[in-house]
Amino acid sequence: MKKMCFAVLLLCATAGFAMPIASSARAMVPSELQQLIGVDYRALKDSPTAQALKDKVMPQNLKDLETALKGIGISSDRDLDQLDFASFRTEKKGIQTIGVAQGSFSAKAVLKKMKLKKISGVKYGTATIYPMDSGLVMTFLDDNTLAFGEEASLKSALDTRDGKRPRSIPIRSCRNRWRRSIAARCGASSISREPRPS
């Protein structure tokens, strides 16, 4: 138990160093946010220890989301800088999850590949939603950022962005509240982190 708490504390301490969720995606986070997970793929590529931890700890559903991205031509090893997952609760549908991928891929290149596969999108509000593998759907938020998930989840997030649902409290507040919650469960008074070296 102590080893697990130490691992969680270590992950929490390094979580503050991860780059923030894409600005184009912040408006999609509903007020019913339950969990926000961010993976900084640039830092992950440089650390064999982090790669090994990712392979052991990453839940299967998150691995499935990476696989779905590969299905549209986005490689987590080559194209991703940041991958964020937000889980939120809705009254009618329960817990829903969306993913936000940010990186060096281009919307035009991905859409060109999808067009060659005869995959077309459907308009939803101001967004165009495209199907992916495993029953997931996606939409581009800007040229290098896309949001994806189950159709109901993505539509809920898009409704939040378009003002049809309440938005979340600031992400930094959620991260700090989550850190305090983990610290309390592990018997620590707080989780602190040293300032990032410049």
The answer to whether the CB of 178 falls within 8 A of the CB of 172 is no
Residue 150 inside a domain? The answer is: yes
The C-alpha atoms of residue 44 and residue 77 are separated, in whole angstroms, by 9
Residue 5 inside a domain? The answer is: no
The structural domain count of the chain equals 1
> Counting every residue, how long is the chain?
198
The C-alpha atoms of residue 157 and residue 95 are separated, in whole angstroms, by 12
Residue 174 inside a domain? The answer is: no
Residue 6 inside a domain? The answer is: no
Beta strands across the sheet bearing 94-103? 33-40, 80-90, 94-103, 145-149, 137-142, 127-131, 122-124
Mean of pLDDT values over 61-73 = 79
Whether this prediction's pTM lies above 0.75 is answered by no
In Å, how far are 55, 88, 137, 168, 170 from 156, measured between CA atoms? 30, 10, 13, 13, 18
Looking at every residue in the chain, the average pLDDT score rounds to 75
Structure confidence at residue 168 as a pLDDT band (50, 70, 90): low
**Could you tell me whether strands 145-149 and 33-40 are parallel, antiparallel, or unpaired per DSSP bridges?**
unpaired
Q: What is the pLDDT, as a whole number, of residue 32?
A: 83
Residue 41 inside a domain? The answer is: yes
Residue 190 inside a domain? The answer is: no
Residue 147 inside a domain? The answer is: yes
Q: What is the pLDDT, as a whole number, of residue 147?
A: 93
Kindly tell me if the per-residue pLDDT of 197 is higher than 70: no
Domain that holds residue 137: 21-169
The CATH number covering residue 112 comes to: 3.40.1000
pLDDT digits (tens, 9 = 90+) for 82-119: 888 888 888 888 888 888 989 998 899 899 988 988 98
Residue 130 inside a domain? The answer is: yes
Mean of pLDDT values over 135-153 = 92
